[in-house]
Amino acid sequence: MRISVIGCGYLGAVHAATLADLGHDVVGLDTDAGRIEQLAAAQAPFHEPGLPVLLEAGRRSGRLRFATDPAALAGADVHFLCVGTPQAKTTFEADLSHVVAAVEALRPHLRPGAVVVGKSTVPVGTAARLASLIADTGAVLAWNPEFLRQGSAVRDSLAPDRLVYGIPEGPYGEAARAMLDAVYAPLLEQGTPRLVTDYATAELIKTAANAFLALKISYINAVGEFCESAGADVVALSRALGHDARIGGTYLQAGAGFGGGCLPKDLRSFRAQAHQRGVEPLEELLSLADGINADARYRLAETAVRLCGGDIAGRRVTVLGAAFKPNTDDIRDSPALDIALQLAAQGATVTVSDPQAGPNAWLQYPHLDFEPDPLAALGGAELTVLLTEWAQFTTLDPAAAAAVVANPLMLDGRNALDPAAWRAAGWQFHAVGVGLAEAGAAPVLL
Ligand code: UDX
């Protein structure tokens, strides 16, 4: 099928490359000429495992092209909207200006029978509004939310948990459903569940899924705080909860909390929508989860200061991690950088290490020191704080690390290291949600 993908960011670039991999003829469109140039040369503009291979395969087969000119949209049967919906600058709401601009750019190139498929995460009611914008073109709108995670986006796209189609009732909706079935034929053949709903439900499925993941993380972080005060161990607790199939073990890792370009802003957009509709219990629940998440960052910074005897000014601190999670170079709303900045603001001399996100972070925060090599970053550190659980950090040799620091004091903000191994190598080891009460009471760096 001939397909266009509008917006080539973390979502659209991966979506375009996987659609070409599924056998379609794909053109990716973006207003950022630099990004399009890179993609056309089969270079991934951001770190995403597996993407370079797919881009190269698409370039070689000729099935994957990229363009900045909307004229390239003409001739496609299906148009995917993959532009961003960031949090608005002054409110909790989603900023829909990119989605509206994409539909405006697409409008003149739509032909009767074409299908416009929204993938961006949007507030309920957006799809209906966009459908009315294209009603006179004879094209039909469908909403097909995307659930991919950065860092495993290629795998998630080629083997999704489910496909959701939000379509209108009647023959137009049926036509859209048939087109989407053709687009995703290889995934449907491998047994991927497909759920067909109305627009509002499809929009809400995505928002509710992300908010639920955020709730789970905030729940375990709140329980982690309780564990600290009770001298209990949130890691063992979480592992035990995970054995209960009704609960499930994922998104129960206590630590620095959630960040990135999706969970925080989707939680806030849902909260704003609940407020607008007067659904107070949901608004309160989501707002509490957001507050617990902010608190997780603050409490970690506070613990770091306590471990330094109550004053971190002048201390040399190495922060392991800048990306909001491993396997990405994305620093949007990163807990690691947030905490690094809190410590720097209190006078600490902070060196940040990250295998991929250093350049992005340095561009935004040039006053922090960046060192990609973890052992070099650890040189002379009086306190080390692990905040993004990259394999490069979790596989560090504690003895080699102890040999380069000024003081072997570790605060594991992701519960990602083996405490026994680090203690055996001479480290004073503290982890979030694990018996921190006593450690907090007694500063260990005086
Ligand atoms: C998320 C959703 O998972 C995905 O379905 C949606 O399409 C986009 O938003 P992503 O933003 O890539 O994906 O990140 P995810 O892997 O979900 O992690 C989000 C944040 O939660 C990260 O900062 C991560 O470190 C944190 N997290 C995750 C925890 O703190 N604890 C956990 O147990 C799991």
Mean of pLDDT over the chain = 96
Looking at residue 302, its pLDDT comes to 97
Nearest to 417, CA basis, from 235, 177, 223: 235
pLDDT digits (tens, 9 = 90+) for 339-356: 999 999 999 999 999 999
Spatial distance between the Cα atoms of 337 and 325, rounded to a whole number of angstroms: 11
What does the domain layout of the chain look like in residue ranges? 2-197, 235-439
pLDDT digits (tens, 9 = 90+) for 292-306: 999 999 999 999 999
Ligand 1 atom 22: the closest Cα is on which residue?
A: 258
Coil, helix or strand at residue 141: strand
Looking at residue 446, its pLDDT comes to 52
pLDDT band per the 50, 70, 90 thresholds, residue 437: very low
Given a cut of 50, whether residue 113 has pLDDT beyond it is yes
Ligand 1 atom 7: the closest Cα is on which residue?
A: 147
Looking at residue 441, its pLDDT comes to 45
Which sequence positions are flagged as catalytic? Answer: 262
Whether 160 lines ligand 1, by a CB cut-off of 6 Å, is no
Ligand 1 atom 17: the closest Cα is on which residue?
A: 149
Could you tell me the two tokens for 272? 């704003």
Given a cut of 90, whether residue 271 has pLDDT beyond it is yes
Spatial distance between the Cα atoms of 11 and 17, rounded to a whole number of angstroms: 10
Domain at 235-439: CATH architecture: 3-Layer(aba) Sandwich (3.40)
Ligand 1 atom 26: the closest Cα is on which residue?
A: 258
Q: Is residue 26 within 8 Å of 37, Cβ to Cβ? A: no
pTM of the model: 0.95
- Count how many residues are written for the chain: 446
Whether 10 lines ligand 1, by a CB cut-off of 6 Å, is no
Looking at residue 423, its pLDDT comes to 97
Q: Tell me yes or no: is domain 2-197 CATH 3.40.50.300.
A: no
pLDDT digits (tens, 9 = 90+) for 183-209: 999 999 999 999 999 999 999 999 999
Average pLDDT over residues 126-153: 97
Given a cut of 70, whether residue 440 has pLDDT beyond it is no
Given a cut of 50, whether residue 317 has pLDDT beyond it is yes
Looking at residue 144, its pLDDT comes to 98
Instruction: Report the percent of the chain where pLDDT is more than 90.
Output: 97
List all residues 6 or more positions away from 82 whose beta carbon is below 8 Å from its beta carbon. Answer: 5, 6, 7, 8, 9, 11, 12, 15, 16, 119, 120, 146
Q: Is 442 left (phi over 0), alpha (psi -120 to 50) or beta?
A: beta
The DSSP 8-state label assigned to residue 9 in this structure reads S
pLDDT band per the 50, 70, 90 thresholds, residue 435: confident
Whether 257 lines ligand 1, by a CB cut-off of 6 Å, is yes
Whether 168 lines ligand 1, by a CB cut-off of 6 Å, is no
Cα 376 to ligand 1 centroid, rounded to whole Å = 29
Whether 253 lines ligand 1, by a CB cut-off of 6 Å, is yes
Looking at residue 445, its pLDDT comes to 60
Q: Which atom of ligand 1 is nearest to the CA of 414?
A: 30
Give the pairing of strands 316-320 and 369-370: unpaired
pLDDT digits (tens, 9 = 90+) for 70-109: 999 999 999 999 999 999 999 999 999 999 999 999 999 9
DSSP string, 61-112: HT-EEEESSGGGGTT-SEEEE----PBPSSSSSB--HHHHHHHHHHGGG--T
Q: Which atom of ligand 1 is nearest to the CA of 389?
A: 25
Q: Is residue 158 within 8 Å of 190, Cβ to Cβ? A: no
Locus of tokens 């990163």: 334
Would 2-197 and 235-439 be classified into the same CATH topology?
yes
Residue 25's beta-bridge partner residues? 2
